[in-house]
Amino acid sequence: MSAKIILNRKSEWVNKARGIKFFIDDVELGKITNGSSEEFVIASGFHKMQCKIDWCSSGEVSLQLNEGETKFLKVKSGMKYYAIVYIAFIIVLLSGFIMKVAHIAKPPEFLWFQVLAFVPVLVYMLYYLTIGRKKYLVLEEDTENIFN
């Protein structure tokens, strides 16, 4: 009595070099690397599934799998605005350097601009490392899968 789960992970810049661990009923079944797909054969029945990276994870997904059934799941980063945050961070870091190279005098408020621009980046990152650590990844049924 077995069923199959096919877990897909699109290629993403965030966590590119890190494998995501896949758990069913609190037992690690394997890792999925960036841009890959893994197949897991499990017993049919009701199961809880979760993905984890270090201390961060996805929420639990509960599925009823019937005999011979195949379910498609996908895992992705839960960080929605990471590109904007990283670009803002780079702009803040480079702005002082660019002013120095261009021989532009820094206004007296420039340090405050850098601090105020950096605070949202820091808060965003700290959220996903602390309170939002169980939302760092998203595990869901893959309704867009062509084989589904």
Note the pLDDT tens digit of each residue in 115-134.
Answer: 888 888 889 889 999 999 99
8 Å CB contact between 5 and 65:
yes
Residue 9 DSSP code: -
State the CATH number of the domain containing residue 13: 2.60.40.10
Same domain, 10 and 56: yes
Going through 85-148 in order, the beta strands assigned E by DSSP cover 137-141
Residue of 92 and 9 predicted with greater confidence: 9
Note the pLDDT tens digit of each residue in 18-47.
Answer: 999 999 999 999 999 999 999 999 999 999
Beta-carbon contacts of 69 under 8 Å, excluding residues fewer than 6 positions away, are 3, 4, 44
Domain contains 69: yes
pTM of this structure: 0.82
Intra-chain end-to-end CA distance of the chain, in Å: 21
Domain of 44 in residue numbering reads as 2-78+137-141
Tally of domains within the chain:
2
